[in-house]
Amino acid sequence: MKLAEIPTPALVVDLAAMDRNIKRMADFFAGGSCRVRPHFKAHKTPAIAKRQLAAGSCSGLTCATVGEAEVVVDEGLTDDVLIANQVVGPGKAVRVAKLAKSCDMKVAVDSEFGLNDLAQAARAAGVDIGVLVDVNVGLPRCGIAPGASALELAKLIDSTDGVTLRGMMGYEGHVVGIEDRAEREPRATKAMGRLLESVKMVREAGLPCEIVSAGGTGTYDITGGMEGVTEIQAGSYALMDTAYAKLDIPFEKAFSVLGTVLSRPRPDQCAADSGHKATTQDHGNPDVKGIDGASVMFLSDEHATIALPPESTIAVGDPIELWPSHIDPTINLHDVMYAVEDDEVVEVWPISARGYLEQRRR
Amino acid sequence: MKLAEIPTPALVVDLAAMDRNIKRMADFFAGGSCRVRPHFKAHKTPAIAKRQLAAGSCSGLTCATVGEAEVVVDEGLTDDVLIANQVVGPGKAVRVAKLAKSCDMKVAVDSEFGLNDLAQAARAAGVDIGVLVDVNVGLPRCGIAPGASALELAKLIDSTDGVTLRGMMGYEGHVVGIEDRAEREPRATKAMGRLLESVKMVREAGLPCEIVSAGGTGTYDITGGMEGVTEIQAGSYALMDTAYAKLDIPFEKAFSVLGTVLSRPRPDQCAADSGHKATTQDHGNPDVKGIDGASVMFLSDEHATIALPPESTIAVGDPIELWPSHIDPTINLHDVMYAVEDDEVVEVWPISARGYLEQRRR
C-alpha cells in the first residue's frame, strides 16, 4: 500500500525518522547511571514501545492510566511498569493489584487516601505494590508538598502492609515546554532541587529510595544529567510535535496526520478532511507539511480550513499532511497508525491503549 | 450500578433532560413543512438517534463521515441518510455506493472532481446516489459559490449518469454560535438568502430541488422558520454543551464528564482524572458542575486542575462532574456513555461510530 492509498484522515509515522529519535535518546543515556522510562501515554502503541525498549538504556515503561498498564502487561512489553499518576476511583486499585501479580508494578501516591486504597487492594489480592511518593515540584496539579510532608508520607508508606516504598518522583511539567534553554534549564534545576532535597530527607530517615523518577522530552538532558535522578519519563521524543520542535532538542518530527483535500473553493484556500477529531488543537493549530506559505486557518470537527499561496497547484482529491501540535491526544483519536518508508506503508500498528480500556472490556 | 460506581473518566447522560430536549425539538417542527434531520456526528450513538427518530418530525439522519453512515445503515436506524460533506479520498465513494444499495443515500457535492468520483463508483456498483449541491453561505470552508456557479454544478449533476440531483444545502456554521439573537438572526437570514436564491435559480432552470437542507442547533428556529427550507441539520440540541447553553434556546445541558478527585494538594485546588483526553477544550475549558465558585484552571492529558472555594469539602476519591464545552469531539474520545436516572445507571450505550470506522474494520 502506498501513502496516497491510505483512507484519510490517518496517522502516518516516518519510520526512519522515528528510529533515529529513539536511537538518539538511547545513546544519550548509554553507559550512564540514569535510564529512560519511555512514557507509553504519548503513543499508546505497543509496536513503538517495543522499539524504544529494544534500543536500550531503558528502565521499563511509564503509564498514565491503569488501562495503559494493562496493555503493557497483556502484550508482555516489559515487566517493569510505573503508573506515574494517582490511582484513585472505582475499580482502579483492584486492577493494579491484579497487574502486580505478573509484573514489578509501581504507582505514584500523594495522599493517605490513595495509599490506603492501594494497600487494601494489594492485601486482598495477596500481592505487594511498589509505591513512589509523588512530590509537587512546581506544576500546580498533583503531588505532595516537598520536604516534611513528603517525608511524612514516605514513613506512612514504609509502615503500611501491602505496599513497599520504592522511591520518589516529581514531574516538572511547568517547564518542559519552555522554548528558551536559558530559562528552561535553571527552572528545571530548581524544580528538581525540591525533589532531590526530599529524597535526601527520606534517605537520612533510613528509608529506602531506590528510584528517583522525573523529567520529560523537554528536560531529558537537564534533569537526566542531575546527580541522583535515576530515570527520565520522556514520551514525545520518539514522534515529536510542533510544540516540542520549537525547543533545541535533537529529535525530528516523525509523525503527521494525512488528509485529503475535499474542496478548494478559492485559489487561496482549501478544506481537508483532517479536523480536530483527527488532530487536536490543545497546543494550537497544526502546521501544514510540505507547502511553503500554507497555514491552518481553523479546525472544525471534520475539516481543516487551510490558507494557501494562490499559486499552489494542490487540488481536490490530493493528499495533504499536517504536523500535529500535540501528539498524545492526537494519537488517542485514532485506532491505528501507518508506519511508512519512502511513501510505502510497511506496517500498520494498533493503538491498543487508545481511550479508556475499561469501556471496551465491559 | 450507581453513578458513583462508574469507572472514571466517563460520559454521563441525564436521560430525562435529554428526552425533554428531543421532545422540544420534535414539537417545534410538528405539523409544519420543515423537518429536523438530526446530525449523527454530534453523538455517534445509535441509542440516541433512535430516540430522536422516534420523537417524530424527522426526515432522516445527517452524517459527517462515511463511517457514520455505515453505522446508521448497519444498525438500521433509518433508510434516509445524508452525508452533509464532500466524500473524497481513497475508498470513500465506493463505500457510499455500497450503502446506496440499502438506503436512500444522499451526499453533498461542491466540485466536479467530487461529483465524478461519486458517479463513477455509483455506475460501477449499479446504483444511483442522490446529490445535494453544497453552497457556500458564508462559512469559509467547503461549498461552491452561490448563484451562477451553483447553478452550473446543478446542471452538471443533472446530466451525469449514476447520480440524481435531489436538492441543495448550505451550512451557516459561522453564525450558529453567536450568543446574541439580535446579531444571530439577521446574519442567519442573510446566509440563507444566498442558499434560497440559488435554489430559485435551479428551479427556474427546470431542475429538481426537492430538499433544501441547512441550519444547526443555534439557528433551528430561525433557519427552520424560513419558507423554502425543508430540513434542519441540528445535532447538539439533544445533549447540549456550555457553548450552546449561552444561547437563548430551550435546550438543557443533559450531558457531563464524570471524573474522580485524584489529589487535593491545597484547600483552593484539586486535580481530577478528566483531562483533555476525556473532555476536549476546542471550545474552551469545561465548567465544573455542582460546586459554586469552582472552575477549571487547565486541562492536561489525564488531569483537570480545578480551582476550588477553600471551604469546599470535596476530597480525594470523590466524584466530580464537568460540563463539556463541545460535545461532538468530547463524545468521540469515549467508547460508551452511561445513561443515568436519579443517580442510577439505566443503560450503557456504545458510541458505535467513534473515530474512523475503516481503521477498526481493517
pLDDT digits (tens, 9 = 90+) for B274-303: 999 999 999 999 999 999 999 999 999 999
Torsion angle, alpha carbons of B234, B201, B129, B329, to 10:
-30
**Two domains, one topology: A3-9+251-360 and A60-229:** no
With beta carbons less than 8 A apart as the criterion, state whether B135 and B168 touch. yes
Asked if the Cβ–Cβ distance from A269 to B144 is below 8 Å, we say no
Q: Does A355 touch chain B (CB under 8 A)?
A: yes
Contacts across the A-B interface (CB distance below 8 Å):
193
Cell numbers 497487574 correspond to A99
Lookup: cell for A217: 522530552
Q: Compare all CA atoms of chain B with the CA of A327 and give the residue at the minimum distance.
A: B301
Asked if the Cβ–Cβ distance from A329 to B362 is below 8 Å, we say no
Residue A362 predicted with pLDDT over 70: no
φ, ψ of residue A116 in degrees (nearest 5): -65, -40
Lookup: cell for B58: 424527522
For residues B317-336, give the mean pLDDT: 98
For residues B53-60, give the mean pLDDT: 98
For residues A161-179, give the mean pLDDT: 97
pLDDT band at A192 (very low <50, low <70, confident <90, very high): very high
Residue B304 predicted with pLDDT over 70: yes
Query: Domain spanning B3-9+251-353: which CATH class is it, in words?
Result: mainly beta
Superfamily of domain A3-9+251-360 in the CATH hierarchy? D-serine dehydratase-like domain (2.40.37.20)
For residues A283-312, give the mean pLDDT: 98
Q: Provide the mean pLDDT of chain A.
A: 97
In Å, how far is B78's CA from the nearest CA of chain A?
23
B60-229 CATH fold:
TIM Barrel (3.20.20)
Q: Compare all CA atoms of chain A with the CA of B338 and give the residue at the minimum distance.
A: A359
**What kind and span of H or E run contains B296?**
strand B295-299
Report d(CA B208, CA B211) in Å as an integer.
9
Q: Does B262 touch chain A (CB under 8 A)?
A: yes
- The per-residue pLDDT for A63 is 98
Which residues in chain A are closer than 8 Å to B302, comparing Cβ atoms?
41, 64-65, 85
In Å, how far is A31's CA from the nearest CA of chain B?
32
Strands B129-134 and B163-170, sheet pairing: parallel
Please report, for residues B58, B157, B222, B254, the alpha-carbon distance to residue B195 in angstroms, rounded to integers and kept in the order given.
Answer: 21, 17, 14, 33
Q: Nearest Cβ partner of A303 from B4, B110, B142?
A: B142
**B135-163 confidence digits (pLDDT tens):** 999 999 999 999 999 999 999 999 999 99
Q: Compare all CA atoms of chain B with the CA of A95 and give the residue at the minimum distance.
A: B7
DSSP-derived letter for residue B305 is E
Report d(CA A281, CA A297) in Å as an integer.
12
In Å, how far is A305's CA from the nearest CA of chain B?
6
Residue B362 predicted with pLDDT over 70: no
Residue B48 predicted with pLDDT over 80: yes
In Å, how far is A190's CA from the nearest CA of chain B?
20
Share of chain A above pLDDT 70, in %: 100
Asked if the Cβ–Cβ distance from A140 to B9 is below 8 Å, we say no
**B65-119 confidence digits (pLDDT tens):** 999 999 999 999 999 999 999 999 999 999 999 999 999 999 999 999 999 999 9
Global pTM reads 0.97
- The per-residue pLDDT for B361 is 84
The answer for B 318-337 residues in CB contact with A (under 8 A) is 328-329, 332-336
Instruction: Go through chain B and tell me how many residues it has.
Output: 362
Asked if the Cβ–Cβ distance from A89 to B136 is below 8 Å, we say no
Q: Nearest Cβ partner of A86 from B262, B277, B281?
A: B262
Please report, for residues A140, A172, A232, B50, B244, the alpha-carbon distance to residue A185 in angstroms, rounded to integers and kept in the order given.
Answer: 19, 11, 15, 56, 43
Instruction: Go through chain A and tell me how many residues it has.
Output: 362
For residues A100-112, give the mean pLDDT: 98
Lookup: cell for A131: 509505591
Residue A20 predicted with pLDDT over 90: yes
Asked if the Cβ–Cβ distance from B263 to A111 is below 8 Å, we say yes
Task: Name residues whose C-beta falls within 8 Å of residue A12's C-beta, 6 or more positions apart in sequence.
Answer: A3, A6, A255, A256, A257, A258, A321, A337, A338, A340
The string over A331-345, giving b where at least 16 C-beta atoms fall within 10 Å of a residue's C-beta and e elsewhere, is bbbbbbbbbbeeeeb
- The per-residue pLDDT for A361 is 84
For residues B334-338, give the mean pLDDT: 98
Please report, for residues A104, A106, A171, the alpha-carbon distance to residue A166 in angstroms, rounded to integers and kept in the order given.
Answer: 11, 8, 17
Which residues in chain B are closer than 8 Å to A241, comparing Cβ atoms?
none
Task: Name residues whose C-beta falls within 8 Å of residue A206's C-beta, 6 or more positions apart in sequence.
Answer: none
The answer for A 117-176 residues in CB contact with B (under 8 A) is 117, 136, 140-145, 173
Please report, for residues B79, B105, B107, the alpha-carbon distance to residue B100 in angstroms, rounded to integers and kept in the order given.
Answer: 10, 5, 10
Report d(CA A124, CA A128) in Å as an integer.
10
pLDDT band at B256 (very low <50, low <70, confident <90, very high): very high
Asked if the Cβ–Cβ distance from B329 to A277 is below 8 Å, we say yes
With beta carbons less than 8 A apart as the criterion, state whether A286 and A242 touch. yes
In Å, how far is A111's CA from the nearest CA of chain B?
7
In Å, how far is B344's CA from the nearest CA of chain A?
15
Q: For chain A, what are the domain ranges?
A: 3-9+251-360, 60-229
In Å, how far is B163's CA from the nearest CA of chain A?
19
